[in-house]
Amino acid sequence: MSEENSTTKETDVNTGVNTNENADANTENIIKLSPDTLPKNTVHCYPAKKALILRRRVISFVLGLGFLLATIYFFIPANLSFVLAGFAGVDTIICVLVFIQTFLIASYRVALDYEKNEVVLRYMFQKIHIPFEDFDTKEGQPDRAEAQLSRIFLRPQQAAVRYLILDNVRESACYQTTSKDLAGNEDFNQLKIEAENIRDVFRGRPSLPPEPVPEEDEMTRIINSALKDEPKNIDEKGK
């Protein structure tokens, strides 16, 4: 994915709580971290991968130049065509916008603003602002088409692409970024840690259920029972 994916979800209009969750949030034991866990008065930026930026710049520049020449060509009286010139002109503008955007995502793709307490995403040609108190995150999954493509093109030594959902619980759409969109796996891991800390400070996370105690198998039960039995008094005279 070259952009954070936007997907829709079901939410309660009045509360903004995701209704796709199976558990009732009111009945869960919520664990919150101390606000001191988060940095103060700083902004952490996570830029896009350099190879992604370079590829977009080259493609948008070459296509933009081609569409610009086509626009000029169709405005020549001998080849005059307002329809084709219009299409070529629109495509030229799109390529210019994509080229400009490469400089924006080089500064950051995702930013965590600890001064304004918000997560900032660059999505398409806009910036998405998510207040910390409305922010939620979890690991995501590829859609079916992407999963199939990964199985076909993923090399054995190549690490699988990881997904991270960046969600505003009060909006109908959620966004996700991937390990191949950011500068590297280290950036992805650090973003994941910081995003989860923000979630745990402002919204909390459900406490984990106690681990089930494995049942003793029959042989273990017999042995333990025998060890606990007190020795019996044997009447020597009865022999």
Q: What string of pLDDT tens digits covers the 239 residues of the chain?
A: 444 555 555 444 333 444 444 444 443 567 777 888 899 999 999 999 999 999 999 999 999 999 999 999 999 998 899 999 999 999 999 999 999 999 989 989 999 999 999 999 988 778 899 999 999 998 887 666 666 665 665 555 556 788 999 989 888 778 888 888 898 889 999 999 999 999 999 887 665 555 555 555 556 666 666 666 655 555 554 54
State the distance between the two ends of the chain, measured CA to CA, in whole angstroms: 86
Whether residue 218 is contained in a domain is answered as no
- Could you tell me how far CA 146 lies from the centroid of its own chain? 15
The residues near 117 (Cβ < 8 Å, ≥ 6 apart) are 131, 132, 133
Whether residue 156 is contained in a domain is answered as yes
Domain that holds residue 167: 1-45+132-208
Q: Work out the angle between the directed axes of helices 50-75 and 82-107 (0-180°, nearest 10).
A: 160
- Count of structural domains, the chain: 1
pTM for this entry? 0.65
- Give the residue among 44, 173, 170 at the shortest CA–CA distance from 116: 44
Whether residue 26 is contained in a domain is answered as yes
- Give the residue among 169, 50, 29 at the shortest CA–CA distance from 109: 50
- Could you tell me how far CA 211 lies from the centroid of its own chain? 28
C-alpha span between 153 and 134 (Å, rounded): 37
Whether residue 7 is contained in a domain is answered as yes
Whether residue 238 is contained in a domain is answered as no
Residue 133 Cα distances to 3, 62, 122, angstroms: 24, 43, 20
Whether residue 71 is contained in a domain is answered as no
Whether residue 54 is contained in a domain is answered as no
Whether residue 161 is contained in a domain is answered as yes
